[in-house]
Structure 1
Amino acid sequence: MSCSYRSNKKKKTHDPIFHNESVNMLANRILKHGKKSLAYKIVYLALKKIKQNTKKNALYVLHRAIKKVTPNIITKTRYMGRKTHRIPTEVGSLQGKALAIRWLLKASKQRPDRNMALQLSFELVDAAKGYGKSIRKKEETHRIAETNKAFAIYH
């Protein structure tokens, strides 16, 4: 008899200090060459810098930044005949969160400072306030989806 009653959902994991899923996702995205302790060290140092600079709860700033950067809609490329169309599609909550974290890290790596924790902390604070490269990336994605709204019927 098959075990069809079991779901294939992954078990949600949390980081060791804050017991937060978002911090764990951020650390897993930073991860290089399997050095998870180094990734956690970067994230925790960034959260500490946020707390020092803003005098606010660092987890609140992190969640606010992720929420502001999370896109509602993205475009997917489809080939129809000889033409390529960008079709706007809605984004699920987990996929949107993953995109937001990816954009936050990419924008933080483009900052001029050498220290990754400082770069990440500044980008998170900027995103929580509503500006920065990651916010511009979200707005650009929404703008592209809006211009290609005519192709939504092919979805």
Structure 2
Amino acid sequence: FVNKILQRGKRSTAERIMYDALDLVQEKTGDDPVAVLKRAVDNVRPQLEVRSRRVGGATYQVPVEVRPRRATTLAIRWMVGFSRD
């Protein structure tokens, strides 16, 4: 997770941001912050995505299931991306 937060190779800054966020979750909820983070990733994880499929001269958007590892990667990427905005 820290690697997704990392910008310009500043690992110590990314780690500080991550641990501060986990401490904040601990203060606000009183629950285990790692469990809260896992639950958040599970809630954001996509089940389907659309892939382009060319049939004849037309291109169709076909829904396909997302593999578990890709779903987790997308969820983490989305969470980090939207938290930066």
TM-score, with length taken from structure 1:
0.51
- Residues of 2 paired with 1:103 and 1:89: CA distance? 19
Task: Kindly provide the CA deviation profile for residues 85-112 of structure 1, in whole angstroms up to 9, marking residues without a partner as x.
Answer: 11111111111000000111122122xx
Q: 1 CA distance for matches of 2:54 and 2:76?
A: 29
Amino acid at match of 1:67: D
Query: 1:80: Cα distance to partner?
Result: 2.9
Structure 1 runs, 4 residues or longer, greater than 4 Å off: none
Q: Which amino acid aligns with 1:27?
A: V
CA RMSD of aligned residues (A): 1.2
> Cα distance, 1:36 vs. partner?
1.5
Structure 2 counterpart of 1:27: 2
The size of the alignment, in residue pairs, is 85
Aligned partner of 2:60 among 82, 85, 104: 85
Q: Which of 1 and 2 has greater Rg?
A: 1
How many percent of aligned residue pairs carry the same amino acid? 35
Q: CA deviation at 1:34?
A: 1.3
How many angstroms apart in 2 are the aligned matches of 1:75 and 1:95? 13
Match for residue 47 of structure 1 among 12, 22, 25: 22
Which residue of structure 2 lines up, in the alignment, with residue 131 of structure 1?
none
Q: The residue matched to 1:71 in structure 2 has which SS?
A: coil
Structure 1 residue 74: deviation in Å?
Answer: 0.8
One of 30, 39, 56 as aligned partner of 1:64: 39
**What runs of 5+ residues in structure 2 fail to find an aligned partner?**
none
Alpha-carbon distance between aligned partners in 2 of 1:71 and 1:45, rounded to the nearest angstrom: 27
- Say which SS state the counterpart of residue 83 (structure 2) adopts: helix
Aligned letter for 1:88? P
| Structure 1 portions without partners, runs of 5+ | 1-25, 111-155
CA displacement, residues 97-147 of structure 1 (integer Å, 9 cap, x when unaligned): 00000111122122xxxxxxxxxxxxxxxxxxxxxxxxxxxxxxxxxxxxx
Higher strand residue share = 2
Helix, strand or coil: the match of 1:74? Answer: strand
